[in-house]
């Protein structure tokens, strides 16, 4: 590893001309300066190209390319990784931002701990409100458990084994693609992002490194995750949604259904990885937890689609296939009786996240 390695930053963009400059500004403010930014335009229809090309004149480290792989975040990121020339790779979405010392702190951590990959925590931005979610009691307790199970070096927890099992057991995710820094040579061994996934492609990529590489998790925020209304996942304020009223908005309902099915696809992929993994000490519990998550997702799809009786019954049966509960049994009975109205009891088990 060179002392001052080039870091290639991949930023996929689709119709982001109104927000992308803020993300790029956060890169240009980095205290670590030996980087190249590859903006991969996923065939935008707005003036994203004009915005980026003006910035390439201002800073030659910024490069504009057009994705020629499969459309979507996976294809765009893969194109960027293959185009990159840096010794290290990192990612930043076009509507998010980094803290000024993110690259320097991540690189210092990798060099100090001899890690192959580093991650860091983040804060969330909801409109004008910034949330420090990892300061909550539950998250701090989980971080404390990880510190006890693994090596600690400064503000970093260093994982060499059993990270995949710890990841599966947690109710909170501590690993985000936007804070990831890793050696480019690793993609030769572990491959590119699965372009078939339009949701969760980042998670399925990240977990490939677990238990095979030395990974450092920086336990202090290094980025800002903006939950904007035009993002794939946070296209609406989920806190304000009423599951009993979703059927009145076909656009939102269709988006939830599509994302829910993609979420199931990703969970099934992870379950296959669990089944194949020979290092897990409690494989049965890991598989059961994934099945519970799939059952809950199908249950939610059934509940919000209950005005389409045939579809709702199909989803409810799928829920029962993975986990039988009083909720999906009761919902199925109501569907057979053609009871479409909402239920306060059944509504409690709906998970719109």
Check which CATH number belongs to the domain holding 59 and give it: 3.90.550.10
Among the candidates 205, 226, 247, a domain finishes at 226
**Residues whose CB is less than 8 angstroms from the CB of residue 288 and which lie 6 or more positions away in sequence, other chains included:** none
What per-residue confidence (pLDDT) applies to 231?
Answer: 59
Please state, in angstroms and rounded to a whole number, the distance separating the CA atoms of residues 207 and 205.
6
What per-residue confidence (pLDDT) applies to 227?
Answer: 76
What pTM value is reported for the model? Answer: 0.90
Please state, in angstroms and rounded to a whole number, the distance separating the CA atoms of residues 70 and 110.
32
What the block records as the tokens of 205 is 């990529």
Residue 352 lies in a domain: no
Residue 106 lies in a domain: yes
Q: Which domain holds residue 97?
A: 7-226
194 & 282 share domain = no
Length of the chain: 353
Using 50, 70 and 90 to split pLDDT, how confident is the model at 120?
very high
- Give pLDDT tens digits for 23-78: 999 999 999 999 999 999 999 999 999 999 999 999 999 999 999 999 889 999 99
First to last CA, the chain: 41
Residue 232 lies in a domain: no
Residue 205 lies in a domain: yes
157 & 280 share domain = no
169 & 190 share domain = yes
- Give pLDDT tens digits for 262-295: 999 999 999 999 999 988 988 999 999 999 999 9
Structural domains of the chain, count: 2
**Residues whose CB is less than 8 angstroms from the CB of residue 171 and which lie 6 or more positions away in sequence, other chains included:** 138, 142
pLDDT at 191 over 90: yes
191 & 167 share domain = yes
203 & 269 share domain = no
Residue 231 lies in a domain: no
**Residue with the larger pLDDT of the pair 346 and 18:** 346
16 & 155 share domain = yes
CA–chain centroid gap for 338, Å, is 37
Task: Give the chain's mean pLDDT.
Answer: 93
pLDDT at 233 over 80: no
pLDDT at 342 over 60: yes
**Residue with the larger pLDDT of the pair 226 and 298:** 298
191 & 257 share domain = no
């Amino acid at each position: 590893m060179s002392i001052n390695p080039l870091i290639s930053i991949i930023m996929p963009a689709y119709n982001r001309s109104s927000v992308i400059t803020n993300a790029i500004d956060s890169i240009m403010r980095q205290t670590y300066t030996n980087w190249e930014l590859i903006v991969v335009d996923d065939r935008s229809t707005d003036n994203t190209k004009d915005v980026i090309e003006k910035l390439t004149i201002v800073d030659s480290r910024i490069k504009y390319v057009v994705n020629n792989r499969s459309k979507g975040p996976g294809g765009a990121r893969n194109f960027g990784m293959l185009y990159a020339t840096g010794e290290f790779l990192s990612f930043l979405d076009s509507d998010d931002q980094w803290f000024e010392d993110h690259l320097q702190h991540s690189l210092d951590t990798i060099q100090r701990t001899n890690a192959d990959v580093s991650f860091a925590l983040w804060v969330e931005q909801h409109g004008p409100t910034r949330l420090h979610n990892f300061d909550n009691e539950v998250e701090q307790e989980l971080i404390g458990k990880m510190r006890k199970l693994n090596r600690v070096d400064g503000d970093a927890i260093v994982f060499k084994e059993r990270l995949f099992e710890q990841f599966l057991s947690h109710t909170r995710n501590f690993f985000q693609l936007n804070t990831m820094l890793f050696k480019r040579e690793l993609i030769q061994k572990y491959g590119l992002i699965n372009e078939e996934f339009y949701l969760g492609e980042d998670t399925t990529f990240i977990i490939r490194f677990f238990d095979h590489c030395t990974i450092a998790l920086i336990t202090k925020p290094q980025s800002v995750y903006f939950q904007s209304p035009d993002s794939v996942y946070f296209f609406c304020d989920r806190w304000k949604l009423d599951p009993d009223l979703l059927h009145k908005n076909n656009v939102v309902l269709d988006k939830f259904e599509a994302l829910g099915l993609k979420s199931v696809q990703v969970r099934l992929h992870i379950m296959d990885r669990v089944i194949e993994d020979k290092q897990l000490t409690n494989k049965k519990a890991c598989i059961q937890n994934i099945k519970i998550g799939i059952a809950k997702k199908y249950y939610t799809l059934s509940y919000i689609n209950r005005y389409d009786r045939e579809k709702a019954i199909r989803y409810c049966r799928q829920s029962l296939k993975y986990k039988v509960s009083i909720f999906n049994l009761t919902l199925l009975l109501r569907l057979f009786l053609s009871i479409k109205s909402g239920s306060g009891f059944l509504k409690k088990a709906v998970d719109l996240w």
